[in-house]
Structures are given as C-alpha cells and as structure tokens.
Amino acid sequence: MTKKKLLLILCGLSLPLQSMFAARLEVCPSCSYQTIHSALENASDGDQIIIKSGLYREGNIQVTKSVHLLGEGWPVLDGEGQTEILTITARHVLIEGLEIRNVGNSYIEDRAGIRLRNTRFCTIRNNRLVNTFFGIYLEHSADCVISGNEVLGEALEENSSGNAIHCWYCQRLTIRDNQVYRHRDGIYFEFVDNSQIFGNTSKDNLRYGLHFMFSNDDYYYENRFIQNGAGVAVMFSKCIDMDHNIFASNWGRASYGLLLKELTDTDIRNNSFRENTIGIYVEGCSRIDYHHNEFKQNGWALKMSGGCLDNHLQENNFIGNSFDLSTLASAGTENTFDNNYWSEYSGYDLDHNGEGDIPYLPMKLFNQIVQQTPEALILLRSLFIDLLNFSEKVSPVFTPENIRDLHPKMNPYTLNIRS
Amino acid sequence: MLKIFRFYFFDLIRSRWTVLYALFYLLLTSALLLLSPNLSKVIISLMNIVLFLVPLIASMLGIMYFYSSRDFIELLLAQPLRRSTIFFGQYLSIVGSLGLSLLLGIGIPFLLYGILSSAEIWNYLVLLGTGLMLTFIFSGIAFWIALKHENRIKGFGLMILCWLFFAVIYDGLFLLGLSWFNDYPLEKFALGASLFNPIDLSRILILLKLDIAALMGFTGAVFSKFLGSGLGMLISMASLLLWVGFPIWRIRAISLKKDF
C-alpha cells in the first residue's frame, strides 16, 4: 500500500474520533459567543461552531483551525461591500448552511466569499452566496468537495466581475450539484488536475459556464450550461472527458455551446447541443472522439478551424441545424465523419440496411461561400441559395469531396441523453 | 369605384383559382402546424413558401385576370366612368381577393392553434404583413405589364422574367457582388441592395424577427441595429410602400393615356 493511501485511510479514521471529542460552540446574539471571531478564537481543532440565524457583520474571518462552521436557519455573513469574508487556511474545515453576501468588487484584489488557501480535505456545502464578486476561490488546495452551493452574482461587465467557483493550482477536487448564476465564468479551472465536476447548473454567465485552462485529466458530466456567453471553454488542456452534459441556448453573436482550443486526447459523448449559435467550435485540437451526441437546431452544429487532426465524429445526430459543418477543405483528409445521422440527408437506402447508399456531404456550397464572405449570410434561406446548393449537390464542383460521411444513417439514433 | 370593386371582387372570390389558392394555404399551414410542434420552425417553413409562391401566384393570376377580362374593361370604358375608377377598382379587387385567400389560408389554422396567446405573435404578424405586401406589389406589377403590352405572350414572358429576376437572379447578382468586393466592408452595400428587392427585404425582416441575426455576426448586428431602429423600420416600410406605389403610379399614368 502506498504512503498516500495509508495517509488517506488514517485521515478517514481520525475524523469520527475528532467529532467524538468535539465541542459545540454556539454563536448568536444571546449565546455565550456573540461573534464568529470570538468563537473561532476559543475553538480548538475538530470543534463545531453552530451559527444561529442572524446578521453577522464581522469583516474578514480567518479560519485557521480545523473546525466545522455550521449555519442554522441561514445566518447571514455580510461583507458590506468592503472585504473578503471567509478565508480558510486550515485542513478538514467544513462550511455548511451559511448565507454569505456583499463582498464588493475590487479591481486590485480578487476578493471572494469563501477562500481556501493551501489546504486539503475541506468541504463547502449547501451555502448560499449572493453578490460575492468571486464566490468560492480555491488556490493551492487539494481533495476538497464543493457541493450544493448556490452562487448568485450580479455581474454586468466582464472586466468588473469575478467567477462563481474559481480554482487555481488544485488537485482532486469534486464540484457537484452547485448552481452558479450571473458571474464572469461559472466555474473556472486553471492548473487543476484529476478533478470531477458533475450535476451543476451554470446559467447566465457573461463569459463561460465552465472554463478550463491548462488543466488535465478532468471529468465533467451531467451538467447544464444554459444561456452563457459560451457554455464551456476548454483551452490548452489534455484528457478532459465530457459526457451527458447539456449545452443549450448559448445564443448570441459570439456564442458557443462548447469551445475547444488546443485540447488533445478527449472523449466527448452523449452530450446535447441545442439552440446554440455554434454547437462546438474546434481550433487546433487533436485526437478527439465525438460520439453519440445530439446537435439540434444550432446555427452551426460544428465549426472546425485550422490545425485540427484526428477528430472523429461518429454516430451523432445532426437535426435541424442551419449549417451542419463549417470547415476548411483540408480538414477532410485528417478528420473523419462516419455513421452519423443528418436530418438534411436526402439520399436513399435501396438495400434497407439503415445506411444511405450515397455519401452525405455536410459542407454545402453555401457554407463555403459564407466562410469566405460572411456578409453572404444575408441570403440565407433564399430560393437562389437553395437552387445553388441543390445543383452543387447533384454534381459537386466546388465543395471538398473528402469531407463526407460514407455511411449516413437513415434514421436518428436513440441516444441516452438527459432532457 | 366601390361598385366596380364589388363586382370584380365577388366574381373573383367565386372563381376556382382563388378558392384553390386559399385551400392550398389552409392545407399547408394545418399540415405544418400538425407535423411540427415548434411554432418558429413552422413560421420559417411557411416563410420559404410564402416568399416563393405569393409573388408567383400574384403575378400569374393578376396578369391572367387582366387579359381575360379585357372585353369587360372595354365595355366599362364605354360607360360614363372615370378611367382611374375602373382600373383601381379592378386592381383593388384582385389584391383584395388574393390577400383574403392568404389571410384566411394562413390565418385560420394559426388562430385555431392559439397564436393570439403565443409569444410568436409578432413574428407571425410580420410574416402575414410581408405576404400581403408582396401580393400588393406583384399584382401591381402584373397589372402594369398587362396594361403596357397588348401581346399576351409578351406580357406573360415579361412577368415570368420579372418574378424570376426578383426571386432568383437578383440574389445571384447580389452574391456575385458580395464575393467580388470581398475585401471591402460590405454591410452598407448589403443593406442598401436588400432594399431594392421586395422579396429579399421581406425575407430579411422575417429572419431578423426570428433571431437568426445572431448567426450573421457583425453583418447581422448592422442589420438588426438598422432595421430594429425607428428610422430603419421607417425606411424599410417606406421601401415596401414605394414598391407598392410605383406600379400603381405607372398603372394610372398608362391607363389615363392608353388608346384602347
């Protein structure tokens, strides 16, 4: 058994022991402790501090002992727009049931509602953070769980707003079942490895619902990304697995469901992309498998720009998108499209094996024209364009023939997708 | 004029073609509404058909009706009636019957579907409004051509060419222009060029309402900013009205001078 595992087990064993001897310190206007500060001063490792409902204006609170801070009846910790509120530097801290609000914007420091710095084994669960600039900020921390929190921001502009859950240089985090609204980024990962994100809802964020930078080996699933600037952005990362997520209504002039940039070795499956301006935008990515995803009623289902190698699209449903694909002619030789269902496909299936007998070319002539002359989009859905596409389909001259699906399905797949 | 309008109008709405036209829209709209649960998709499909068929039918029926009722026009001209009264009565009755067919054909299924309490009501009204405008415009053009050319073959040929020009050729030239001058900022050009084609203008008005503007990036921004502003709305409305007015003005000028 490795040292690490042994350590983990010992830690696990020590937790119940601690709570057996733990003292309960109650904080309320009529209790023995009137302030959280005084309770923390008198607490020792493993104690429980129960904060009763009420309004606490105590400025910044440093948590340097391994205590549990438990709120009863939603006590409010108000920063009055001046300071960061909870700063946690001890291990094994649990924060639960608090309402934290009004941290106040700052252009100089990244203030947060709850900050975890150089710590491990902390749990932040079922809290409510309102207008906290940065909601929950983790730096140089590991093995922490952030779950069931509701982080409501009031972001108006990108440059004067923070992220709801911000993680920087972290390891093995679990971020689950949180609701993050109206921040710059819903969840932000920079240099965060081996972490899991699931069951979260990220909505109305100005920039991205979820943002990965330089993070590897992470896994996110069963999340919803709705009405963000872009649903999820994954940049300069490796091995970020994505499944069963919903990317919906990320609709606007520069909006994406999923934005991939310099990402490698990834599996994207069972996701649903609905009504986004661009379903997936791919730039400089290699060795990515997209399978069993649903692309429904997007402007562009998939936009692939230069430098993409070994992207394989298989067994996806493309239904009712204005454009199925936009890419460069060279993309066809290095990436594959096979066995997908395309609602635009109008071929036939004489041998009734469920596959169309003629290949489907997702790059239509008009897609190509729009790529070169974006203004031409003004002719979308005009009779002339339909005629143009039709004649090009009958005898392809301009469209790249190597971008094609040789086995287009006649009927859509029944996919295991969350609704 | 009212009498002439009434006479022609009732003659027209009793005619097979008008009834067929209304029934066609009725069936099509009901089928689309039944097949697709998404109202805005129905409006988009309907838009494609309306933009294609309304001008075609309006021009064909307009020109056919004028040529076929020529004897009756001569009879009317022999009466003590003002020429403008006769021709406007006739024009209005054509426009009225076609417009009514469109209104009933597209209107009844949507009303039954409950469009009045739906969020798509404005998109629908824009579709209906542009459909009616196109009826006005293309019947007017048909009348103008029919008045100008005694030769029926020539008249029909010109009308088909005219429809083809606005429905297809114009967009082709437009696209050529866009790709030739690719290196220049083209938003203003595209905006200006779309004002000169009633079919394009109608299409863009509907598409912008249906939130496709986001797809168009910067161009879309320029378009929705222009057409969304009061001035832009005014200009595009004025442009459509000019398109209605121009053939009427020509009909009047020719009908007053023409030697029958």
The structure's pTM equals: 0.83
Smallest Cα–Cα separation from A76: which of A101, A93, A43? A101
DSSP H or E run through A312: strand A309-314
Nearest CA in chain A to B223: A378
Record: contact A374-B44, CB cut-off 8 A: no
Nearest CA in chain A to B213: A253
Q: What is the DSSP letter of A136?
A: E
Q: Would you say residue A17 has pLDDT above 80?
A: no
Q: Would you say residue B123 has pLDDT above 90?
A: no
CA A199, A201, A272, A365 torsion-angle sign: negative
CATH no., domain A24-165+174-186: 2.160.20.10
Write the pLDDT tens digit of every residue in A83-103: 899 999 999 999 999 999 999
In Å, how far is B20's CA from the nearest CA of chain A?
Answer: 24
Write the pLDDT tens digit of every residue in A237-265: 999 999 999 999 888 777 889 999 999 99
Binding-face residues of A in 285-344 toward B, CB within 8 A: 297, 299-300, 320, 322
Record: contact A380-B172, CB cut-off 8 A: no
Record: contact B174-A299, CB cut-off 8 A: no
Q: For chain A, what are the domain ranges? A: 24-165+174-186
In Å, how far is A253's CA from the nearest CA of chain B?
Answer: 5
DSSP characters for B79-107? SS--HHHHHHHHHHHHHHHHHHHHHHHHH
Could you tell me the pLDDT band of residue A414, with boundaries at 50, 70 and 90?
A: very high
Three-state secondary structure readout of A57-106: CCCCEEECCCCEEEECCCCEEECCCCCCCEEECCCCCEEECCEEECCCCC
Q: What is the ipTM of this complex?
A: 0.83
Are the beta carbons of A246 and A226 closer than 8 angstroms? yes
Binding-face residues of A in 369-398 toward B, CB within 8 A: 369, 372-385, 387
**Best A319, A323, A378 residue to mutate vs chain B (most B CBs within 10 Å):** A378
Could you tell me the pLDDT band of residue A1, with boundaries at 50, 70 and 90?
A: very low
Q: For chain B, what are the domain ranges? A: 2-257
Query: What is the pLDDT of chain A when averaged over all its residues?
Result: 90
In Å, how far is B220's CA from the nearest CA of chain A?
Answer: 8
Q: What is the pLDDT of residue A3?
A: 60
Q: Which residues of B touch A387 (CB under 8 A)?
A: 168
Three-state secondary structure readout of B129-186: HHHHHHHHHHHHHHHHHHHHCCCHHHHHHHHHHHHHHHHHHHHHHHHHHHHHCCCCCC
Tokens of A328: 């460069």
pLDDT, mean of residues A293-311: 90
Residues in chain B: 260
Q: What is the pLDDT of residue A135?
A: 95
What letters, b where the CB count within 10 A reaches 16 and e where it falls short, cover A142-168?
bbbbbbbbbbbbebeeeeebbbbbbbb
Write the pLDDT tens digit of every residue in A98-130: 999 999 888 888 899 999 999 999 999 999 999
Nearest CA in chain A to B208: A378
Record: contact A253-B172, CB cut-off 8 A: no
